[in-house]
Amino acid sequence: MTAERTAADAFALLSDESRVEIIRAIAIAHSEQEPSNSGPAPLSFSEVYERVGVDNTSKLSYHLGELTGTYLRKREGGYSFTHAGDRIARFILAENFRRPADVGPIETDGSCPYCGETTLEAGVDDQYFAVRCSACDRPVTGYTITPAQTRARSGNTLLEVRLFPGDTTKMGTLPTSGLRQK
């Protein structure tokens, strides 16, 4: 009898920088593809090899073998993510293991819905990118932000964020409830 795989077993498979790099490389390759109704196209062995810094093909073959079944599925044509692989790829791309960069304050257009002053400022506060009114110190709008987003984007582009294909979160489209109050 085979013991049921545990979460700790699944995480143990990732305690290797090359395997994390493979997942990151496949995720980035998928994000560069044209969106398709049938989902991202699998990556061939040689496409993965071109994108990672693994020394030789036998090492890559070994690591792909370890990841296949839990994070990757192998089909004719190459490798694609399992559901778990997709989730862990998002975690890796979001850099949720790092601290967010300091961003802001950025002067922002618009007027405060509470006091009417045009003194809105945007900035990163822990895991939120938020617009606050500096006159009455109330939060006006915002959204949760990943550490990768705080690094990869200039302050002004944080006002229109789209990290993954399909995410359409934009400033101004979110309800003001749900923002963290000071």
Residues 47-106 close enough to bind Zn ion by CB under 5 A: none
Is residue 130 near Zn ion by the rule CB under 5 A? no
User: Closest CB to Zn ion among 13 and 106?
Assistant: 106
User: Closest CB to Zn ion among 114 and 128?
Assistant: 114
CB-count exposure of residue 24 (10 Å: 0-12, 13-18, 19+): middle
Is residue 133 near Zn ion by the rule CB under 5 A? yes
Is residue 136 near Zn ion by the rule CB under 5 A? yes
Is residue 118 near Zn ion by the rule CB under 5 A? no
DSSP 71-139: TEEEETTEEEE-HHHHHHHHHHHHTTTSPPPP---EEESS--TTT--S-EEEEEETTEEEEEETTT--E
The CA dihedral of 62, 67, 73, 74, to the nearest 10 degrees, is 0
In 3D space, the residue among 116, 110, 101, 105 whose CA is nearest the CA of residue 156 turns out to be 105
User: Closest CB to Zn ion among 69 and 172?
Assistant: 172
Q: What are phi and psi of 74, to 5 degrees?
A: -105, 125
Select the residue interacting with Zn ion from 10, 12, 28, 115 (CB under 5 A): 115
Letters for 11-50 (x = contact with Zn ion by CB under 5 A, - = none) are: ----------------------------------------
CB of 104 to Zn ion, least distance (A): 17
Binding site for Zn ion (CB under 5 A): 112, 114-115, 133, 135-136
